[in-house]
Structure 1
Amino acid sequence: MVDPGATSQEPGGRRTPRAGCLQKKLAAILAEEEARQPGCPVTLFCTDEHRIGLKPVTRRVWAPRGQRPTALGHHRYEWLYVTAFVAPATGESHWYVGNGVSKPLFERLLALFAREAGAGPQRTGILLLDGAGWHTESGLHVPDGLRLVYLPPYTPELQPAEHRWQLIDEPIVNQHFNRLAEIQDRIEQRCRDLEAQPDLLRANTLFRWWPQPRRPN
């Protein structure tokens, strides 16, 4: 068993030098945005995509001693992509399920997220994300009220979003599905369930070095 409290830190239980550099960068940007718009709440979010499909998600299972453990599976290659925006400090989250990834689609997701999160004149969102091609700012329209901050290259361990995917996979682990629509129904419901559990998301994404806003969100 794993203590849930232990998940609120970087994997391995210690802060790496790269985490320290990113912490300073995020803290400086957070302070800059708070000073630029006094009285306007500033929230630090993170985002990433997770691919789920008819290829089974497998995890360890119990089996009688001496017997090979089994789990249902039939490898096929049809995919859904879950995109999540989470504020680790509060557990606020916004979830979207699609059938692919691209820069035009990500632009639309950013616009939808900004609208649902209230980003704009009354609220600023700082968004930590990786440097995937569809995330990069060259030609990417970023809505007013959002500021993108990129992870250093090859540092997935610094992305709090990575800790959400075990939670989202839970209803489909070690199961076999005939149609992608069956998975989509379960995953969409799981997204709604997690959105209603900010404390659980906070426990799984709030690294110890994650900067905290000085003003309430």
Structure 2
Amino acid sequence: MLTHEYPYVYAAVEAKSGELDFLILPYVNTDCMQLFLDEVGARHPSDKIVMVLDGTGWHASRLLKLPQSMKLLPLPPYAPELNPVEHVWDELREKRFHNRVFDSLDALEDQLEVTLHTFENNAPMVKSIVAWEWIISALLKKSGWRGPRETGAQRTADTIDCGRAEREEHGHSREQGL
């Protein structure tokens, strides 16, 4: 029987510095999103965080409990280019995983983890991908917050689907990153 399995990456990028946080999780759902929000909030307890999100259901669930210093900023439909983390996904797909075939899901996850740790440890490279002045200005204006010097880091988040449907192997849970 042919099955399709996916790992999913939850990521947040601070657009002005290029700092990246991520988790590799087996599902895209409200529980995983909550886990990611909690991890980002715990890792950056003194920062005010604005997460830019698309309209996916698990991003907007009323069941999500936000850390006190975090607010979610929904994007208008059909505007992914406004989310800085989308440019990370473009870099990942086009330059790191283009025309690659993996022998197993574990091999793909291993390469994904190595690549994301490379991004995480190279903020200047990530900044060169995401820190477009028009994005930063638009995010600060829309969020109502005045800027990193006065409010701490501004973070954006989204998820990337690595190409297939939700995993059938429910017992497999690889939490990586953060």
| TM-score exceeds 0.5 | yes
- Measured in 1, the distance between the counterparts of 2:18 and 2:3 equals 34
- Whether 1:208 aligns to 2:133 is yes
Spell out the pairing of 1:7-156 with structure 2 (5 A cutoff).
Answer: 77-116=4-43, 118-119=44-45, 122-156=46-80
- Measured in 1, the distance between the counterparts of 2:92 and 2:110 equals 13
* SS of equivalent to 2:103: coil
**What do the CA deviations read for 1:11-61 (whole angstroms, capped 9, x no partner)?**
xxxxxxxxxxxxxxxxxxxxxxxxxxxxxxxxxxxxxxxxxxxxxxxxxxx
Taking a change above 3 Å as real, the CA distance of residues 149 and 99 of structure 1, as seen in their structure-2 partners, is same
CA contact (8 A) 2:10 2:22 kept: yes
Instruction: Name 2:172's counterpart in structure 1.
Output: none
The Cα shift of 1:151 comes to 0.7
Moved over 6 A (4+): none
Instruction: Name 1:45's counterpart in structure 2.
Output: none
Scaled by the length of structure 2, the TM-score of the pair is: 0.71
Counterpart amino acid of residue 127 in structure 1: M
- Whether 1:181 aligns to 2:106 is yes
Taking a change above 3 Å as real, the CA distance of residues 137 and 167 of structure 1, as seen in their structure-2 partners, is same
Taking a change above 3 Å as real, the CA distance of residues 114 and 174 of structure 1, as seen in their structure-2 partners, is same
- Measured in 2, the distance between the counterparts of 1:143 and 1:80 equals 25
Say which one has the larger Rg: 1
Task: Give the alignment's Cα RMSD to 1 decimal.
Answer: 2.0
CA contact (8 A) 1:172 1:183 kept: no
Instruction: Name 1:194's counterpart in structure 2.
Output: 119
CA contact (8 A) 1:171 1:186 kept: no
Unmatched tracts of structure 1, length 5 or more: 1-74
- Measured in 1, the distance between the counterparts of 2:35 and 2:100 equals 32
Unmatched tracts of structure 2, length 5 or more: 141-146, 153-178
Taking a change above 3 Å as real, the CA distance of residues 151 and 180 of structure 1, as seen in their structure-2 partners, is same
Counterpart amino acid of residue 145 in structure 1: S
**How many residues are matched?**
140
Taking a change above 3 Å as real, the CA distance of residues 176 and 159 of structure 1, as seen in their structure-2 partners, is same
Q: Which has the higher contact order (CA 8 A, sep 6+)?
A: 2
- Measured in 1, the distance between the counterparts of 2:101 and 2:148 equals 47
- Measured in 2, the distance between the counterparts of 1:114 and 1:132 equals 21
- Measured in 1, the distance between the counterparts of 2:118 and 2:84 equals 19
Taking a change above 3 Å as real, the CA distance of residues 123 and 176 of structure 1, as seen in their structure-2 partners, is closer
Scaled by the length of structure 1, the TM-score of the pair is: 0.59
- Measured in 2, the distance between the counterparts of 1:206 and 1:110 equals 22
Instruction: Name 1:51's counterpart in structure 2.
Output: none
